[in-house]
Structures are given as C-alpha cells and as structure tokens.
Amino acid sequence: MHGLSTKYNVLYNGQVAFDQAKLQLDDNYDDNFWKLLPIEPLKIEEKEIEVLNLPSTNNKPQQKSQNESTAQGFDKAEEKSIKAIQKHSMDINGRERNKQIDDAYLLLGKARYYSQRFVPALEAFNFILENHTKNGLKDLARVWQAKTLVRLQNEELAIETLEYLLKNKNLPLDIIEDGHTSMAMAYQAIDSTDLVIRHLDSAVLFSVDSKQKARNLFILGQLYRSEQKIDSSNLYFEKLARFKKAPYRYKIHAQIDRAKNYTQQDSTNQLLSTLQKLIKERENRPYLDELLYQKGVIETQNDSTNTAILDFEKSLRTEQGKEFQKELTYEQLGNIYFDNIKFEVAGAYYDSIILITKNKNEKRIRRIIRKRESLEEVIAYESIAKNNDSILMVASLTKPEQELFYQKHIDSLKKIEELAKIKLENSLKTTNGFGSIDKGNTIGKSKGGKFYFYNTSVSGFGKQEFRRTWGNRTLGDNWRLSAKKSVKKNSKEIENLATANTFDTSKKYELDYYISRIPTEKNALDSISTLRNDAYYKLGIIYKEQFKEYQLAADKLEKLLRFNPKEKLILPINYHLYKIYANFDELRSNKYKGVVVNNYPDSRYATIILNPDQIASTEDKHSPEAIYNDAYCDFDFQHYDRASQKVEKAIKQFESEAIISKLELLKAYIQMKTKGTKAFKEALSFVALSFPNTEEGKHAVEILDNIDSYDSSELNKKTDN
C-alpha cells in the first residue's frame, strides 16, 4: 500500500511538476549563439536576500513570470518528494522496505539542483549512494552527484567519480550519455578543450536525448572552430543540420554557423544560395537578421560590397532583430565605410553601436569607442575645411555673382520643398485609397489622418530617412553632435566656429540674409583662411600617420600648398610629401626631397634626409632624442614637475617628428604620478588614438585594455618600470 501510494500519488505528482518545470526551463533558456554554448542550459544566478517583503499596493492579481513559474514547479517537486519520504518511508531494522523511497530521494536531489541549492542537492545524492542498493539508481545518482560537484567547483572529485562510473561497460545508454556529458562539463570548467571534445564525441555516439545531442553537436562545431579545425567544425554543423529530431533553433543556427566558417575553398554560390533559400522561408523570420548578416559577410569577403550593404541594412530593419546582432551589423557597415574613407558615415554607425550596447566595458566595445574617437578629429577638420572653402569661394565673388549664386540656392530649396509636398500628397492618396471606393470604409482612415505624424506610412518614411542620414540620436540638445565633445581640449577654434556658424532657418528664402552673412573684413577672411589651412595640414598628417591613406594625405597637403600658406608650414609640408610619396611614387618623392634639400639646406628636415644617422645620435644635446632622455631622467629620479616642463616644451618644438609619440607617452606617465589614474587614462587614450601604428600606441592600447584589472600598487609598479 505504501509503495503504490508513493508511486502513483505523491511521487507521480512530484515527477509531473518536475518534468513540466524542466521542459519550461529548457524552452525558455536564452542561448547566446554568438558565444560558446554552455553544455547544460542552466543559468546560475546569485539569489537576492529579501530584507523586507511589503504587501503590494496593487489590488489586481499579479501574473507570475516564467522564471517564478519554473521555480514553483521545482519547489512542488521537492515538496512532494519530502512528503513521500516522511509519510511513506518503511525503514525496518535499518532496511528500507518501500522501493519508491530511493526514487523520491533522487527527485528531491534533482529538484534542489535545478533550484540552484547545490549543497542540499548533494546531500540527497550522497544519501542514495550510502543507504540504497538499487544499482541502476546508484549509477544515475553518481552522475548527478558529479554534476553537483562541478557546480560546487570541485571538478577533480567529479572527474574521479565519473571515471569510476564509466569503467562499467554494462551501463544503460542514457547513463553513458549523461556520464560523458557531465565529464565534458567538468573539463570545460578547468579549460581542457581537447578532453571536452573527446567526451562530447562519446556522448553523441551513445546519445538517447535528442535535445542534448543537438546541443552537444553544436558545441563540438564551435570548439573545433576555436581550435582552427574548420573541416571538423563544418562536419558537425552539417551533421546537426541533417539531424531530424533536433530542435529547430539548433538546426538553423548550425547552418548559420556553417556559413561563418566560410573560406575561399567553399563553393560561394552554393553557400549564398542556401542562405537565400533560408531567408525566403517564412518559419525563419525570427532568424532573418542573422541570416542576412551572414550573407552580407560572405559578400563582403567576395568584394560584392554594394550587395553586402543592402543585406546589412535589411538585417537592421527586421522586426524581430536582436540587439547584439544589430551591434555586429552596425560594426560591419561602419568598417565598410571606414575602408572606403567615408569617415563621417562610418562614425555614425559606430555611434549606433555605442548607443545600444549594454556592456561598454567589453574589450570589443572599448576598441570601437577608441576607433570612433579617432574619427572625431577627421570629421571635425573635414567640416572646417569644407565650410571655410565655401566661405572663401563666395567671398571672392563680385556682388552680382554672389546674388546669382544664392538665388540659385534659394530656388533649389523651393523646388525641393515642392517635391516633398507632392510626395506627401501622393502618399496620403495611396494611404486612403480604399476609402475612395467606399466612404464608409475605415480601412484607409485607420492608417492615419492628413496631419504628418498621424499618417503611419509617411511618418515611418520620415523616420527611416532621418536614421539613414543621422543614425540613432538620443533626444536632447545639440543632437547633431554625435559625441557632444570637442576634438581636442585645445581646439577652441572649432568650438568657436560651430557657435558662430548658426543659421536662422526662418530666413532661408531671403537673399539679403545670405549676403549679409558673407565676411568682408580682411581680418575675418584671414582668420577663416588660417583656420582652413590648419585643418588641411592636420588632415594630411592624420591621413598619413593614423590611417596610412597616403594618396588622400598627399591630396590634402598639395592642395594646401596652392593656398599659399604661412612660411612656417611650407617646409614641413614639403618634407611630409617627400615621405608620403616615398611609399608609392618615387619620382614625386624626389621632387619634394629636392625642394627641402635645395631651398632649406640648413634645416633639420634637410639633415634628416641627407644624414639620418647624424640625427639619430644622442650626442647632440639639442636633438629630440637627447631632450627626451633628459626629461626621462628627471622622471626616473621623481623630479616630475621638471620632467613635465621639458616634455611640454619638446612636444611644441618637435610636433611633426617621429619622437612625438614617445614624448606623449612619457607625458601620460608623468600625469599618472602627478594627477592620478583618471588623467593617466585620458593621456593614454590620446596616445592610442593619435599614434596607433607605433610601439607607443600599441603599448597604450595594452595598458588601457587591462587597466581595470590592476590595483593601485600594480599600476604604480608599471609606471616605475
């Protein structure tokens, strides 16, 4: 009677509650397919301590979340297990006569395990192993005991337990599968990738559970890829894609990850055709953003950049797009425009990543932020160069020519506005098309009224156009400024120009307003010209040093020479053009070399060209190297104020020379000693952004990537070294 009551009443209800909760846990687990999947889908969370449990002020019944419902299922299973043990245990003379009690202890341990109460769970499994003799149950209890030990970070004992268990050649297939899967969990916890692969292979070979088999196959594909064994990785992804009993999310991601393994040895047309077929299938809509993204990546690698851009943009527009996938897509688009020297557009896409990301401390995001900041200077100087070129061009025209120029501009603005009105009216007609057939029909009316923002199709089009032009922008003042900060702390001219360049849009059709804004005084024009020339010079140096865009750098500097800049700029411009053309045009390089050597024979630049060894010598007390060494000695002997003064003076003196990166890095370390960690980080960021291809720039990046892991003593030790 006790056995029947336990099995078909208390324990049955407990097992049903456990199975439902376990199914819900598996189905609701949010796998991150961009990272290595955990072998067991169980998210370990630290429990919050409830200090005070106040009654709810809302009288409405509150719906339980899925997590709460799952937890209650495991709690019910535990409750039924305890009830079975307490009410139906038949321990007579030290021997349990009710054969269902050992099953109750197993269910109790499993329920506690999934409730993440691992110590009580381990007690239940240990009790089975110590007090009960049913072999099949003992083997299963050993597997659960080992899994619990892994969760308690006692991997060595777990491995020892499982090795003892798996020596038995007569184990059922399900226990063999669970044993090898648990062994893989233990080895994954201690980062033994080869052994993880070996045991997952064995688990797949003896598989009974189709869900776990699908998961193991996917993880094997990921692990082989991390080991650079692409053929083996492809084999497992293809095997999973053909596995009929696998849950669909694993099958579709197996095909996506197979595409991630694309190399030139693959059939590009076949892979793209497979992805296109998956994109068209209706059941793949939840995965459309990932499929389009992966198709775009393959097209990018095959120089089909325009098609790739279209796919990436479609990926961003999918209704069920995931946030992390959007980050990756924005990054790909940013990189494409960056490589095509469209830095302003690239910057807008990088801004979008920074805006939506949830983890700004991640190394990938920190690198994107630094890359975006490196573009800030280029975008600002390009804007200055373009605006000031336009101002100076218009200022050079006669009064009638200026009036004609601006009248054409006003006429074009009016024409654009007329076209926009026509487009809006046509869109309204299209939206209310059904209503024209039957006045009582409300289909067209439900789409929106004549006011722009009530019309969903027209306002939606406007939103798309805004995002295409400006990217994502938060609501706030000065929303046009993507980063809302100046290029450099000392770039006052840029901020002043931006302030002075305000435009009253209410007067955009008044010719006199445009004419009145044209500067006429010589001082004002000279100031605009100087600022324009400085922007061209800075752009030439940035394109040369930071981005290695030599042709673009040469174009900027040669154009600057045609503007007749100040005498102090002519020599460094010719020297930099000599260095730039040395990379791809020897004839032009020699031309600018001749200008430096013949016209400025006594200059330091001429000496660098003719006698580089002499310049490299540190014996000359006026050389940059000697001055740097002198400042470094002061730093080494903890004379920080003296070292700081010498470094600041040297930075101004040798602004366009190679040693500037060393001086800026030394300045950063001086600031660490005098102003603290925050100033040190800012100075290192400047070095990393300004000199990315130098040893100093790489050193700054390395320190920035790891600075949060250093304590103050370690950081001071590094600066001393």
* Residue 168 to residue 389: CA distance in whole angstroms: 84
Report the SS3 class of residue 92.
Answer: strand
Distances (CA, A) of 458 to 53, 251, 313: 49, 39, 20
pLDDT tens by residue, 369-401: 888 887 888 888 888 999 999 999 999 999 999
- Mean of the pLDDT values across residues 548-567? 91
What letter does residue 440 receive in the DSSP assignment? T
pLDDT at residue 545, rounded to an integer? 81
| 95-96 and 91-92 beta bridge pairing | antiparallel
Judge whether 700 and 671 are in contact, CB under 8 Å.
no
Structure token pair of residue 73: 């299922």
Q: Which of 133, 154, 170 represents a domain boundary (last residue)?
A: 133
Q: Work out the number of other CB atoms within 10 angstroms of the CB of residue 668.
A: 25
Is pLDDT at 131 greater than 50 in this prediction?
A: yes
Is pLDDT at 311 greater than 80 in this prediction?
A: yes
Cα dihedral 626, 629, 634, 638, rounded to 10, equals 170
Q: Which residues contact 695 (CB under 8 A, 6 or more apart)?
A: 661
pLDDT at residue 635, rounded to an integer? 84
CA atoms within 13 A on the CB side of 656: 20
* Residue 690 to residue 680: CA distance in whole angstroms: 15
- Asked whether residue 123 is assigned to any structural domain, the reply reads yes
Closest CA to 278 of 307, 244, 254, 301: 254
116 residue type, one letter: Q
How many distinct structural domains can be found in the chain? 2
* Residue 171 to residue 139: CA distance in whole angstroms: 8
pLDDT tens by residue, 592-651: 999 999 999 888 788 878 876 655 544 456 677 788 888 888 888 788 888 888 888 888
- Asked whether residue 237 is assigned to any structural domain, the reply reads no
pLDDT at residue 55, rounded to an integer? 39
Q: Which of 108, 133, 158 represents a domain boundary (last residue)?
A: 133
- Asked whether residue 83 is assigned to any structural domain, the reply reads yes
Closest CA to 277 of 265, 264, 259: 259
What letter does residue 91 receive in the DSSP assignment? E
- Asked whether residue 676 is assigned to any structural domain, the reply reads yes
pLDDT tens by residue, 439-472: 444 434 444 444 444 444 455 556 555 655 555 5
- Asked whether residue 196 is assigned to any structural domain, the reply reads no
- Asked whether residue 530 is assigned to any structural domain, the reply reads no
Residue 73, domain extent = 1-40+67-133
pLDDT at residue 350, rounded to an integer? 92
- Asked whether residue 708 is assigned to any structural domain, the reply reads yes
- Mean of the pLDDT values across residues 416-442? 65
- Mean of the pLDDT values across residues 345-350? 91
Report the SS3 class of residue 547.
Answer: coil
pLDDT at residue 46, rounded to an integer? 56
Indicate the pTM of the whole model.
0.70
CATH number of the domain encompassing residue 655: 1.25.40
Is pLDDT at 54 greater than 80 in this prediction?
A: no
Q: Which residues contact 530 (CB under 8 A, 6 or more apart)?
A: 566
Give the confidence band of 712 by pLDDT, cuts at 50, 70, 90: low
- Asked whether residue 23 is assigned to any structural domain, the reply reads yes
321 residue type, one letter: G
Closest CA to 338 of 294, 300, 366: 300
* Residue 677 to residue 689: CA distance in whole angstroms: 18
Q: Which of 133, 158, 177 represents a domain boundary (last residue)?
A: 133
Quick one: angle between helices 586-599 and 567-581, nearest 10?
150
Share of the chain above pLDDT 90, in %: 44
